[in-house]
A and B are shown apart, each in its own frame.
Chain A
Amino acid sequence: MQSNKVFSRLIRWRWPTLILSLLLFGAMVANAPKLTRDTSSDAFIDSQDPALLNRERVEDIFGLSDPIVVAVVNEGEDGIYNTGSLNLVAWLTDQMMRIENIDPDQVTSLGTESSITGTASGMDVDDFFETLPINESDVERIRNGVDNFPLYQGALVARNGKATVVVGELIDPDLATETYQQIMSLLEEAPVSAGDVLHVTGEGAVAAYLSTYVDNDASRLNPLAAVVITIILLLAFRTLRGTLLPNLIVLMTAGGTIGTMAALGVSFYVITNGLIVCMIGIAVADSVHIFSQYYEEIRKDPMADGRTVTERAMSAMWKPVTLTTLTTMAGFIALAFTTTMPPIYYFGVFGAWSVALAWLFSMTTLPALLSMLKPKQSPSFRAAPAQEATPDNLSARLMDRFGSLVVNQPLAVLIIGIIIAVCASAGAMFVVANEERIDSFREVEPIHIADRTINRLMDGTYYLDVMIETDQAEGLFEPAVLRQIDQTQRYLETLPNVGGSTSIVDYIKRMHQAINEDDPAYYSIPDNKALIAQLFLLYSASGDPADFEEEIDGERRLALIRANVSVNRYQDNAVLVERVTEHLADAYPVAGASATITGDLNVDFHWINGIVRSNLLSIVLCLAAVFIMASLLFRSVVAGMFATIPVSMAVLFVYAVMGVSGIWLGVSTSMFASIAIGLGVDFSIHTLHSMQEKVSAVKGSWNERLVTLYASTGRAQLFNFLAIALGFSVLMTSTVPPLVRFGALVGVAVASAFLAAMTLLPAMALVFKPEFLQQPRVEEK
């Protein structure tokens, strides 16, 4: 069936079409309220990831959780050892215990802990804050207590005495952000004395807060992007319908996609915000091309009625719009199948789905509505017929001149293109794979400052853990096992960024010393298995039953070594994980005990490693998907190659900008290249399709034929490019670094895809004169 017949039938049935499409939209969007948000950082990791499963097992065995940490910092001469700072610690401890989501029994600070001192007759256990410190001698007593207790140094009080922490365990970790904010407002009324500075951090709070931080800003900026795009549309068409109808299609696409996600029980993740902007770009692109053609048809035949004009515009545009839809879908699906992260998988799947919806509504709702409206010329398209020398419109004139330049010097364009590509490749070489969560916050954010300050002064708020597993219950009473644990701790402490480590061995050694009159010679592991067992008993009897869970399990078969690390950066983690893994392989098993690396840093290393490794594959597969789809659609491998070149340039430019400006290839940036392909391929396809038409339909030399595409398709592409690029650039005004990068890099991608499509493709066509451009249009055979 011929395409114009399809659309004339559709327009005849425009009311049913309109109602049906609106009903479909309604059915999808009705589910939207069911949508759940998932801004947790664990959402980014495949729930079956072995490193994650391992960490969860360890967390379960040892009852570990991510606490919230408030630090009192005083960089004065005596550090926190002054009555003011210490009373502040007491106040904070008390206030933290009153916060609803904090377990009052699991708050740890100088205010809750005791010092253990060995004496001639036995052991004294004294609370540091037996009474509130009111004079110098109280302060001295507390300082001596900490100095004599190695376990507190670096963990509870900074080794240089400049900081101390109040640590609170959360009752419900999902409320970490709320608790963080509650503590932040609590601090405003804290009785700080001279020199005291307060900071709040904690891995759980940082991760949770980051998601909300990004999410809030994105929710604010996404609507702004839509406003900017609307302004571009207004400038492009200078008509109400040309401005409002594309927005309707955007709304239906976004609403339909979100509704489908909700209906299928897929959560709205932090990066789904990126999908919203992409949907706006995609839906607008289809509309821009259809409207450009619509106004072109009105200009050609001002007397034709609404039905006829719409029918003609749709007959001309359905093919390129369908082609871009299929190629973009191919790109998104390839992204879905190469990612290791669930949110990006859904980004790909629903990206493809939104492209399909945008196509469906652009093919049905849009023509149905357009055909009902009386044709009215667009001021932007009022001009002499296309074939005449120069159009009077600025944008069309601009594109036309640009086109002349390209078609007159095709070889030069190609050479310049190759030189630029080589330079971009060189720039892309500088891309570094790295990720640091705290780096997602601006440097002036309190949470960023807190992280840097606390990690500079204390042993480190990030954890790399080693789990020791013996082959039988009470296997930990074996002196050889404890000695090896001790050696592993000493090894861990030699590694970069590791500030200190803790395990049951530290407590055993301390107990051993305390029951021997505090003689430092006894700060050691006893050789006597029975004495070790009795020290374990003494240790377990000294705390609450769940206290020592963090170091050993109930059977005394498993133990945890926890290294405090001051930086959580992918590149540093890679070194740590590699060296610890090597050490464990060399040193274990020993006396029936084996060792496994685990902890947050190990999980972070493994999943980011997965992203980095799959990134190249993901790009290659996305490009391959575009290539195959374009080859099939144009029935030519050469056409497939043509279509792939501008998007490859876009990807290259994204990496070049990242390489030159020092933007890391990390979790969020890893998907930028795929988005660049998805959004950029439209420019290739429209150009190719238009070239094919011009070559077969227009008379004259190839130069003359091809230059005509600039004023029509070229101008539509310009508007399309401006709408998307400026829409995304709104994100650059964000205060959230990842969103700024997202906006900037997608802008770069779209700009380079547009320019490459408008320069390289016609130039290549002129130089190589490929056969596929000379074939008559397939569907009209």
Chain B
Amino acid sequence: MKHSLWVLSLAAVLPFTASAQDASREAREIIEAVNARNDGAYVSRDATFELTDRRGITRVEKTTGYRKYFGDEKRTVIFYTEPSNVRGTGFLTWDYPDIDAEDDQWLYLPALGKVRRISASDRGDYFLGTDLTYEEIKKENKIEIDDYNFSLLGESEVDGAAVVEIEAIPVNETVARELGYSRIVLSIDPQIQMSRHSEYWDVNGNRLKTIHNGNIEQIDGIWTVTEVNVINHKTDHRTRLLFENIDYETEVPDRTFNRQMLERGLR
């Protein structure tokens, strides 16, 4: 009797296990597709950062920047253009594909007139006072696939587009601590292979933040987010990121990403 019950319960569980595995494989495939999305060999663009604090006071910073792939290595430079007293302040980053190699970062303060090397930030650190982390800025709407276990939650709709909801749980606690998350739910639009909306929970499971890609358009044939809204639910701090003058066509010269150019700064 006992034996037959055991068999029965096993029979009941098996189909679920199988379908859960399928769902997880399917989720992973969707993420792979997202990561395979073309984002251009190079791009130049202007970005506006609207940083709003708990009291509703907004600070606006404007930058102009470039990004280019050098093989698997990615180099980025941004210069502040506004407010005027920080105009010309620049950050140059070389991201190496090797996960163990520390990225290189340089800073240029025009009032000092010198380029300074600064040690790389941690992946979970916030990027230039925004509510996005270095990891999120660096990945540009892609996801490091080895960091998470994925599962399929279901289908939904964001801004009128059909999306697939995928839950991402860090593979272990070290990764969770590094990234600052215990759970992410991504709403991915399979049509454009991009997340339209994502929710984040901190390492203790408190609701942390929401990233909403408010405006997505095709520029030079490449799906591009032109407006990002982030709300940190714990601090009530908000970030609105607007991209303009996006250009994937005009080639960005290699020398844009060296220290001399950082020092020469904005022309």
Cβ-based interface call for A171 (8 A): yes
B107 contact from A60, A122, A528, Cβ within 8 A? A122
Known contacts A474-B85, A531-B111, A545-B126; is A121 also within 8 Å of B117 by CB? yes
Bound-state CA distance A530–B89 (Å) is: 10
Q: Across the interface, do B80 and A97 meet the contact criterion of CB distance under 8 Å? A: no
Known contacts A123-B118, A529-B85, A534-B112; is A105 also within 8 Å of B202 by CB? yes
Q: Across the interface, do A534 and B109 meet the contact criterion of CB distance under 8 Å? A: yes
A171 contact from B114, B117, B122, B206, Cβ within 8 A? B206
Bound-state CA distance A553–B109 (Å) is: 22
Q: Across the interface, do B235 and A104 meet the contact criterion of CB distance under 8 Å? A: no
A477 contact from B52, B80, B85, Cβ within 8 A? B85
Q: Across the interface, do A60 and B89 meet the contact criterion of CB distance under 8 Å? A: no
Segment at the interface with A among B18-26, B29-37, B55-63, B152-160: B55-63
Q: Across the interface, do A538 and B109 meet the contact criterion of CB distance under 8 Å? A: yes
Known contacts A126-B119, A545-B129, A554-B59; is A534 also within 8 Å of B206 by CB? no
B110 surroundings in chain A (CB, below 8 A): 530, 534
Q: Across the interface, do A541 and B129 meet the contact criterion of CB distance under 8 Å? A: yes
Q: Across the interface, do A541 and B55 meet the contact criterion of CB distance under 8 Å? A: no
Q: Across the interface, do B57 and A544 meet the contact criterion of CB distance under 8 Å? A: no
Bound-state CA distance A526–B85 (Å) is: 14
Min Cβ gap A124→B in Å is: 5
A376 surroundings in chain B (CB, below 8 A): none
Chain A residue nearest to B129 in the complex (CB): A540
Q: What sequence of 0s and 1s flags, for each residue 110-125 of chain A, a beta carbon within 8 Å of any chain B beta carbon?
A: 0000000001011111
Known contacts A530-B110, A537-B80, A544-B126; is A97 also within 8 Å of B203 by CB? yes
Q: What sequence of 0s and 1s flags, for each residue 75-91 of chain B, a beta carbon within 8 Å of any chain A beta carbon?
A: 00000100101100101
Q: What sequence of 0s and 1s flags, for each residue 524-563 of chain A, a beta carbon within 8 Å of any chain B beta carbon?
A: 0010111101110110110111100100011100000000
Known contacts A121-B117, A554-B57; is A104 also within 8 Å of B107 by CB? no
Chain A interface mostly helix, strand, loop or mixed? mixed
Q: Across the interface, do A534 and B119 meet the contact criterion of CB distance under 8 Å? A: no
Cβ-based interface call for B180 (8 A): yes
Cβ-based interface call for B264 (8 A): no
Bound-state CA distance A540–B121 (Å) is: 14
Known contacts A546-B235, A554-B51; is A121 also within 8 Å of B86 by CB? no
Cβ-based interface call for B131 (8 A): yes
A126 surroundings in chain B (CB, below 8 A): 119
Chain B interface mostly helix, strand, loop or mixed? loop
Cβ-based interface call for B54 (8 A): yes
B91 surroundings in chain A (CB, below 8 A): 541
B206 contact from A103, A540, A549, Cβ within 8 A? A103
Q: Across the interface, do A538 and B107 meet the contact criterion of CB distance under 8 Å? A: yes
Min Cβ gap B244→A in Å is: 21
Cβ-based interface call for A316 (8 A): no
Bound-state CA distance A423–B114 (Å) is: 78
Interface size for chain A: under 10, 10 to 19, 20 to 34, or 35 or more residues?
35 or more
What number of residue pairs across chains A and B have CB atoms under 8 A from each other? 120
Q: Across the interface, do A105 and B111 meet the contact criterion of CB distance under 8 Å? A: no
Min Cβ gap A474→B in Å is: 7
Q: Across the interface, do B237 and A515 meet the contact criterion of CB distance under 8 Å? A: no
Cβ-based interface call for A61 (8 A): yes
Cβ-based interface call for A63 (8 A): yes
Q: Which residues of chain B from 92 to 141 have a CB within 8 Å of any chain A CB?
A: 106-107, 109-112, 114-119, 121-122, 125-126, 128-131
A105 surroundings in chain B (CB, below 8 A): 180, 202, 208, 234
Q: Which residues of chain A from 33 to 80 have a CB within 8 Å of any chain B CB?
A: 60-61, 63
Q: Across the interface, do B53 and A553 meet the contact criterion of CB distance under 8 Å? A: yes
Known contacts A104-B202, A105-B180, A534-B89; is A549 also within 8 Å of B109 by CB? no
Q: Which residues of chain A from 494 to 540 have a CB within 8 Å of any chain B CB?
A: 515-516, 526, 528-531, 533-535, 537-538, 540
Cβ-based interface call for A174 (8 A): no
Q: Which residues of chain A from 112 to 157 have a CB within 8 Å of any chain B CB?
A: 119, 121-127
Cβ-based interface call for B149 (8 A): no
A545 contact from B51, B117, B119, Cβ within 8 A? B51
B107 surroundings in chain A (CB, below 8 A): 122-123, 538
Cβ-based interface call for B232 (8 A): yes
Bound-state CA distance A656–B84 (Å) is: 69
Q: Across the interface, do A531 and B109 meet the contact criterion of CB distance under 8 Å? A: yes
B109 surroundings in chain A (CB, below 8 A): 515, 531, 534-535, 538
A538 surroundings in chain B (CB, below 8 A): 89, 107, 109
A544 surroundings in chain B (CB, below 8 A): 125-126, 235
The 7 closest A-B pairs by CB, nearest first: A122-B117, A531-B111, A122-B116, A533-B85, A546-B235, A554-B57, A554-B53
Which residues in B have some Cβ–Cβ distance to A below 8 Å?
51-55, 57-59, 80, 83, 85-86, 89, 91, 106-107, 109-112, 114-119, 121-122, 125-126, 128-131, 180, 202-204, 206, 208, 232, 234-235, 237, 239
